[in-house]
Amino acid sequence: MGGYLLAVKKGTLFHKSLGKVYTTLMFTTAIITLFMPAFVGPQFLNHFGYIHLFSLLTLYSVPTAIIAI
C-alpha cells in the first residue's frame, strides 16, 4: 500500500483516503507489537528488545507526519 501511495498522483481524494487508512494501520501495528515479547537479543524488563525501538519510532513519527501535513 505504501509503494502504491508513492506511485499515484498526490492530492486526490483516493490518495488522501488511502493515506488515512495506511497511517491508521501503521499506528495500530506499532501498538500491537509492543505487546509481543522479544525473543532475539537482549531483553529489557523480560519483554522488550531492540526491535521495539522501531515501534516507538513509528508511534512518534506517524502523528508528527500527520501534524506536518
* Cα angle: 52, vertex 68, 57; to 5 degrees: 5
Pairwise pLDDT comparison (21 vs 41), residue with the higher score: 21
All three cell numbers of 55: 515501534
Q: Quick check: 5 and 16 in contact, CB under 8 A?
A: no
Pairwise pLDDT comparison (39 vs 25), residue with the higher score: 25
Strand partners, 44: 48
pTM listed for this prediction: 0.77
Given this model, what pLDDT does residue 63 score?
92
Q: At 7, is the pLDDT very low, low, confident or very high (cuts 50, 70, 90)?
A: confident
Q: What single-letter amino acid sits at 39?
A: F
Strand partners, 48: 44
**Taking Cα atoms as reference points, which of 36, 5, 4, 56 lies closest to residue 69?**
5
Domain boundaries, the chain: 2-68
Q: Cell 513509528 belongs to which residue?
A: 58
Over residues 5-10, mean pLDDT: 86
Percentage of the chain surpassing pLDDT 70?
A: 99
